[in-house]
Amino acid sequence: MTDRLLVLVRHGQSEWNLKNLFTGWRDVDLSEQGVREAHVAGAKLKAQGLVFDIAFTSALVRAQRTLDIILQELGQTGIPVIKDQALNERDYGDLVGLNKDDARKKWGEEQVHVWRRSYDVAPPGGESLKDTAARVLPYYIQEILPRILRGERVLIAAHGNSLRALIMVLDRHTPESITRLNLETGVPMIYRLHADSTVASKLDLAA
């Protein structure tokens, strides 16, 4: 039987995650903790005995470095890696670089929560989760899913919201239920798909 394997990993903690700042498309590196999280993610995947044919990541260094570390841990640094900004984090617009607590003081707890968690309300000058899905999902359908359905084993290292957009479809979330989904940094999620692209099984490797 064809494996039809898809593994999703949100990048390890970034320097701006550590400082509680809105990051978006700003290209910041992993924190020391983020590097450790990436090593742990790789070790967990190795313990599962997983072998990959190809990996995808965003155009941002925190996701790329997470992927590099995972592949080092797996001993699979030779596989093709495709980088595309379609998998980038959502653009937080005017919030980028702001401390999340400062943003709450400026706009109010409720408004900031709506910007961060709602499906279709974008922060000023930025993207909503719906906007993010509008670039992530076509890329997944055109470039990634056909490979999985052919039996290629795929690893994606990306971001909280680009992965939430994809998980919304895989796990059949509604615009309301997706607001409650928060992805931890550096935690692999192992999906196996049916031939019709729906989910056959899911394993979350949270500690």
| Domains of the chain and CATH, by start | 5-204 (3.40.50.1240)
Indicate if the pLDDT at residue 3 is higher than 90: no
Return the closest-CA partner of residue 92 out of 124, 54, 139: 124
Catalytic position from the list 37, 89, 127, 152: 89
The answer to whether residue 117 scores a pLDDT higher than 90 is no
What's the Cα-to-Cα distance from 168 to each of 104, 107, 132, 160, rounded to whole Å? 26, 28, 12, 12
Annotated catalytic residue 89: yes
For residue range 62-88, list pLDDT tens digits in order. 999 999 999 999 999 999 999 999 999
Q: Is the pLDDT of residue 131 over 70?
A: yes
Looking at residues 103-108, what average pLDDT do you find?
Answer: 95
The reply to whether 11 belongs to the active site is: yes
pTM: 0.95
Rounded to the nearest integer, the mean pLDDT of the chain is 96
Q: pLDDT tens digits for 171-183?
A: 999 999 998 898 9
